[in-house]
Structure formats: structure tokens, C-alpha cells
Structure 1
Amino acid sequence: MAAAHELGNPPPWYAQYPTPRESQPGGVTREELLKMLKGGESGVSRDFVLVDLRRNDHEGGTIRGSINLPAQSLYPAIPTLYTMFKSAGLRKVIWYCSSSRGRGTRAASWFGDYIADSGDGEMQSLILVEGIKGWATAGEEFVEWMDEYVTAAWINK
């Protein structure tokens, strides 16, 4: 049988990169993340960063304070990101995509592998459980922590 890319279907974007060693990274629930975000209001120094991995499906809003780094461009940037995040004193990197089952898990795992290979026992690479869909459809207390929220993007999701 011919390979998929020989039949006109290119391999998935991530096929050019190594398979992460860890297939089930740790996670943060939306309730835990909301508490972390609210803790930042009281002047407590934030020790985490949120990374929104969506590219073509980046619509309907994002969690306030997230950086957008499409998953397709992530792997080559991991060493630079690690250096930046470490220099900033971050202890948690929380990745998400639509559901955090594909891109989110892969990104958290790749970054987790890099952390482990660096001998860093302090930084964690985690996914946002249920991703942005879970966040955006969980009610007003979550929606109020979104930038550029568009209701129509989340109906029937």
C-alpha cells in the first residue's frame, strides 16, 4: 500500500519531529487555572505562562494573558522558549489548543522532554485539561477571563 503522502495526502505537520517520550503530561483544570489567574490580581507574582497553540482555528477568543504560538512552529523554538521562561522565573508552562488532546499534549510533552533533558527539577510543562473549548463553554466566570471573546464561535461546540 502506498504511503499517505504518495497519494497526495501530506504527512501531519508533527511527523517531521521526534515522538515525545511522555505521552500523558500533567494537567491543570480550568478551576485550578482560574484560581491561579485570580491570584495574580492581588499582586502575587505570576510564576506561569499560558501558551495558546491554535493557528487556523484561533477564533472566538483566548484566555487573558496567553501568548499565541502556533503548534506548527513550536518544536524548533523549544530551546529559546525554555531559556526565556527560565530567565523569567516561570515554574509552569501551561499549553492549550482546542481540546488539549492533540497539539496541547504534544507541545507539553516535547517541552517536558526538554525540561527533563536539561536536568530542571523545578519547571513543569502542563496541559489545560479540556483546552479552550472547555474553558469558553464553562460559564461566565471563565468567559470574563477571555480576550476577544465571540459568543457565536462557541455555540454548539
Structure 2
Amino acid sequence: MSDPTLADLTYVTREDLSKTLLESDSAPSLPANLAIVDVRDSDHIGGHIRGSTWVPSSELDYKAPELVRTLKDKEVVVFHCVLSQQRGPSAALRYLREKKRLEGLEGKKGEEEGNGKEKGGKKEQKVLVLKGGFSEWQEKYGPDKRLTEAWQKDIWEFGY
């Protein structure tokens, strides 16, 4: 099987993501099965999606193995940057490729130990990209404290 490409990525709209967050039993916290990874760098100032994890794209190469292990039990992982045109999709691809690499290593280790692991019954993790990134998110949900933390209108009022 070949490595994932940009054509393989799936996007989620801000409306669908906000609906998932607001309808969760754990609202305003993230649902236990969901992770949101914000890969903005210095442009992280001015707010973020409530409960998201900040992993600057400049650190993603060496943090990817840890991120895959940390998020392994999540059913859905959403990546985004400010526009989700470059860093967000790139981060999702790096994550998927690292996940595939680590699963390959675990499979080899399991074969060597004679206990080949199966994914039996476990759902395949969905990796998504937030369409329009934080820029579009904050246009609609910036002031909504149930969905956005530390939002600063003066930083965003004239657009990105």
C-alpha cells in the first residue's frame, strides 16, 4: 500500500465540527474520542479551538511519533492551521505516514514474537483537516466561548 497523498485527505467543515463539539456529552470539553491538533506556529496568538492541542508545524517532524502514540485511541483527529491550505494538510499527511510506519514496526515486532496483532473490532481512525482553518472558524465562532478560547477580536477583525 502506498503512502497517503493530498488526494486522500478528507475535510470537515466548521459547522460539522462545531456541531460535534456542542452536541457532545462532555461539552464544552472535547469528546473523549476526538482530538484537534492546531499546527500554527507564531500565528497561534489570538485564540484557539477549545480543547485543541498546539503542536507547531516546525516541531511536528520530531513530535509525530509521540503524537501518534498519544492519539492512538482517538476515533477522529482533526488538523488545522490558519487557512488549512498548507501546514494543516501537510501535518495530517505526516501524521498518517508516521502512523503507518509505526504500525508496520509493531506488526514486524508482533510477528517476531509470534503474536501477530490484529485490528480486530477496532475502528479505523479518521484523520481530517478543518476546511478553511482557524481563520474561517474564528469568523463564525471566535466570540463563542463554548467553542473558542482566548479569542482576541482586534487580532482577527481585519482578516488574516
TM-score (norm 1): 0.76
Aligned to 1:74: 60
Structure 1 residue identity aligned to 2:126:
Q
Matching of residues 82-93 of structure 1 within 5 Å: 82-86=68-72, 89-93=73-77
Structure 2 residue identity aligned to 1:149:
W
94, 98, 112: which one pairs with 1:110? 94
2:142–2:148 CA contact under 8 A, matched in 1: no
Q: CA offsets, 1:126-145, max 9 Å, x none?
A: 11000000000125675651
Q: 1:124 to 1:69 in 2, by over 3 A?
A: same
Quote the RMSD (CA, aligned, Å). 2.4
Give the deviation of 1:31 after TM superposition. 0.8
**Displaced runs of 4+ in structure 1, greater than 4 A?**
42-45, 139-144
Q: 1:74 to 1:35 in 2, by over 3 A?
A: same
Give the deviation of 1:40 after TM superposition. 2.2
Q: CA offsets, 1:81-106, max 9 Å, x none?
A: 111111xx201111111001111010
TM-score (norm 2): 0.74
Aligned to 2:5: 22
Aligned to 2:108: none
Higher mean displacement: 69-78 or 132-141: 132-141
Q: CA offsets, 1:106-149, max 9 Å, x none?
A: 00111122334427761122110000000001256756511001
Identity of aligned residues (%): 28
**In 1, Cα distance between the equivalents of 2:19 and 2:143?**
11
Query: How many equivalent residue pairs?
Result: 136
Q: Specify the SS of the correspondent of 2:129.
A: strand
Give the deviation of 1:156 after TM superposition. 1.9
**In 2, Cα distance between the equivalents of 1:65 and 1:139?**
14
Q: 1:131 to 1:142 in 2, by over 3 A?
A: farther
1:40–1:46 CA contact under 8 A, matched in 2: no
**In 1, Cα distance between the equivalents of 2:5 and 2:146?**
33
Q: Where in structure 1 are there 5+ consecutive unaligned residues?
A: 1-19
Structure 2 residue identity aligned to 1:22:
T
Q: Does the alignment pair 1:50 with 2:31?
A: no
